[in-house]
Structure 1
Amino acid sequence: MANGLEEGKEGSRQIAIDGPAGSGKSTVAKKVAERLGIFYLDTGAMYRALAYKAVKNKVPLTDEELVSRLAYETDIYFSKERGVWCDGEDVTQAIRTPEVSRAVSLVASYPGVRKRLVELQQAEAERRSIVMDGRDIGTHVLPQAGLKIFLTAEPEVRARRRWQELKSSGKEASLAEVVRDLEERDRQDRNRVASPLRAAPDAVILDTTRLDIEETVARILDMARGGLR
């Protein structure tokens, strides 16, 4: 990889941030985008919104055909001021419940779902400079990204972060429950057939176990602005 942030195919700057649940990628990606003054797309929220709709409408999550069809019938969009919206409903908080967290890996494992949402993600990246986070951004969605980061952390640290996030938003969940959910999520994400979780060959591996959010953001900004060697 060349020093700093290279331009994508269309001349736009692209940063891909991947990693497992609880690694802090969404918070970090959002702050990096804000500091650089470019667009942030939370791809995980897109899958969560679809999982939320499936759960809400009692669509059998094991029915791949129905769930995949739902992806083409669902309007998901982001508002900088008002969060994540699904079919005209503000779902910013609703998509962060333990129930949705348990459903989202299965929903995201279906090739039909991933095909549709990846199309939407790539279309956004063609329009503007972007920071995008998820589990297959550097390997599949934006393989041409000028800067690819893979965030990781020790499992117990990731579980505690997710538990504290739930508590701060008023969601009831025990730490033990969050640990179990995270372990299952990791297993599903790494073993799914469609775009499994893994670092791109040219990604920078950044362990955040002993880094706080601001330290992590600072390191990525240093790379994006030309500090990568």
Structure 2
Amino acid sequence: MKSIEQKRKIIVAIDGPAASGKSTTARKVSGMLGYTYIDTGAMFRCVTLKAAREGLLEKVHREPVVIEPLLSSLTIEFDRDRVFLDGSDVTDAIRDNGVSREVSFISSLKPVRDRLKEMQRRMGDERGVVMDGRDIGTVVFPDAELKIFLVADPAERARRRYAELESKHGAEGLPSPDELEQEIIQRDRDDRGRTHAPLRKHEDAVELDTSALSIEEQVDMVYRLAMERISA
């Protein structure tokens, strides 16, 4: 019997709205498969953080074209669980709630999506990757052998986001779960309504509702589906 390493390699594309469990699931599944994990959401957060640090966010809202020079010098790298922007570790900085509020707008800009799509396709050229985001199965890799679309109730997603932020930064100064839920609902509207690469489920995607699932359960379900595709 062939080991995973000896079998054909596939692309696993995991899409879904904010806080539906995409990143955690993709990271764990990639480890089980021995695949490379590519967090595309982190890539859009990197662009957002860079724009904020260069004082461009307000101007980008008025004149989106000003984002283009920033993209030409952009480098993003992943090393295990760390994310590097232009050589600096920004793993924690990109999860700031201020970045979360702006990332949907930044990710709606066509120059941003085009630049990151090019980078993402290059990362997945040789397959053997698990990639999560909003449009991986529909735009970046529509030929992915396994497409997953994760969904969850907004209140549950807000609870997860609050717990994540609290564990990293403490409760002081955090938005309430109700406020986070409203932000998530608005982000869903923004992501589904944008002109370029809106959030949507590919017709071939397997939809999983994670509202009542533990991380272990959803990881196991995606892993089993991946092994079916690998062995096909």
TM-score by length of 1: 0.91
Instruction: Please list the CA deviations of residues 113-138 of structure 1 after superposition, one character each: whole Å capped at 9, or x if unmatched.
Output: 00000000000110341000000000
Instruction: Please list the CA deviations of residues 40-72 of structure 1 after superposition, one character each: whole Å capped at 9, or x if unmatched.
Output: 000000000110111111102313111233222
Matched, 1:184 2:181: no
Asked whether the 8 Å contact 1:61–1:103 carries over to 2, the reply is no
What one-letter code is carried by the residue in structure 2 that aligns with 1:217?
V
Q: Secondary structure at the match of 1:219?
A: helix
Distance across 2 between alignment mates of 1:20 and 1:31: 19
Matched, 1:214 2:216: yes
Please report the RMSD computed on the Cα atoms of aligned residues, expressed in angstroms. Answer: 1.7
Identity of aligned residues (%): 46
What one-letter code is carried by the residue in structure 1 that aligns with 2:28?
K
Which position in structure 1 is the counterpart of 2:112?
113
Q: Secondary structure at the match of 1:198?
A: coil
Equivalences for residues 44-193 of structure 1 within 5 A: 44-59=41-56, 60-62=59-61, 63-80=63-80, 83-170=82-169, 172-173=173-174, 174-193=176-195
Q: Secondary structure at the match of 1:92?
A: coil
Instruction: Please list the CA deviations of residues 3-38 of structure 1 after superposition, one character each: whole Å capped at 9, or x if unmatched.
Output: xxxxxxxx6410000000010000000000000001
What one-letter code is carried by the residue in structure 2 that aligns with 1:54?
A
Asked whether the 8 Å contact 1:14–1:145 carries over to 2, the reply is yes
Equivalent pairs, count: 218
Distance across 1 between alignment mates of 2:182 and 2:69: 30
Which position in structure 2 is the counterpart of 1:5?
none
Please identify runs of 4+ aligned residues in structure 1 that moved more than 2 A: none
Distance across 2 between alignment mates of 1:221 and 1:170: 31
After alignment, is 89-98 or 176-185 more displaced?
Answer: 176-185
Equivalences for residues 7-26 of structure 1 within 5 A: 12-26=9-23
Unaligned runs of 5+ in 1: 1-10
Q: Secondary structure at the match of 2:28?
A: helix
